[in-house]
Amino acid sequence: MRATAAEESQSGNLVLLCLASWAIPGAGHLWLGRRNKGLIFLVALPLMFAIGLALRGRLFPFDFSDPLVLLEALADFGMGATYFLSKALGYGAGDVRAVTYEYGNAFLVVAGLLNVLVVIDAYDIAVGRK
Amino acid sequence: MRSHLLLLVLFAFFVSLVFATIAKDDVREQVRLGAVMFAGFIACAIALGWLMYPLPL
């Protein structure tokens, strides 16, 4: 059975919504008119990520030979545009000698994972589950 | 910023804020859930910290 034009358009919008929500934390909620939620995510998640960088946390590389590093890299990648911007500006090298190194990693990883939850929440709202 | 307790409080605050915002739609419920989660994080961390105090034995 072929999808109708309206269904294709709707699924295209959903993909765009999820991409926007991933790239800019809270953008999906702002798009859907959930302004307060969107603004909280827009401020809290990048701030949490920035604190992680300030604590000398590391943005892990996609190293397929080390599963734990790969998982941390995937979690960091969850922050979308903030992740790429930080990489481009040279942040996230990490300093394993710093006292706050592990705290920094915890902030970076959890910020990325929370953003993935935010994307899923935006998707659920868009399809009418919430 | 090197205080472990302060960093723990900051971490608990952000996680509670985001979880409460995702889980509830009403502002009053968000504040209530966020406060409970935040208090739970801090209480558990302090309790576990004291439990680990004698380690290594």
Residue of B nearest to A106 (CA): B11
Write down the ipTM of this complex.
0.89
**Tens digit of each residue's pLDDT (9 = 90 or more) over A31-65:** 999 999 999 999 999 999 999 999 999 999 999 99
Instruction: Choose among A70, A69, A21: nearest CA to A45.
Output: A21
Work out the pLDDT band at A7, boundaries 50, 70, 90: confident
pTM of the model as a whole = 0.91
Q: Which of B22, B26, B30 to mutate to test the interface with A (most CBs of A within 10 A)?
A: B22
Pairwise CB contact (< 8 Å): A117 & B11:
no
Confidence of residue B25 (pLDDT cuts 50, 70, 90): very high
Between A12 and A87, the more confident residue is A87
DSSP chain A: -PPPHHHHHHHHHHHHHHHHHHHSTTHHHHHTT-HHHHHHHHHHHHHHHHHHHHTT-B-----TT-HHHHHHHHHHHTTTHHHHHHHHTT--B--TTSTTHHHHHHHHHHHHHHHHHHHHHHHHHHTT--
Q: Which of A36, A41, A106 is the closest to B11 by Cβ?
A: A106
Instruction: Using pLDDT thresholds of 50, 70 and 90, give the confidence band for residue A106.
Output: very high
Alpha-carbon gap: A44 to the closest alpha carbon of chain B (Å): 7
pLDDT range class, residue A1, cuts 50, 70, 90: low
Structure tokens given for A67: 């599963």
Q: Chain B: residue nearest A44 by CA? A: B14
Q: First and final CA of chain B: distance in angstroms?
A: 30
Chain B contact present for A42, CB below 8 A: no
Whether A130 shows a pLDDT value over 90: the answer reads no
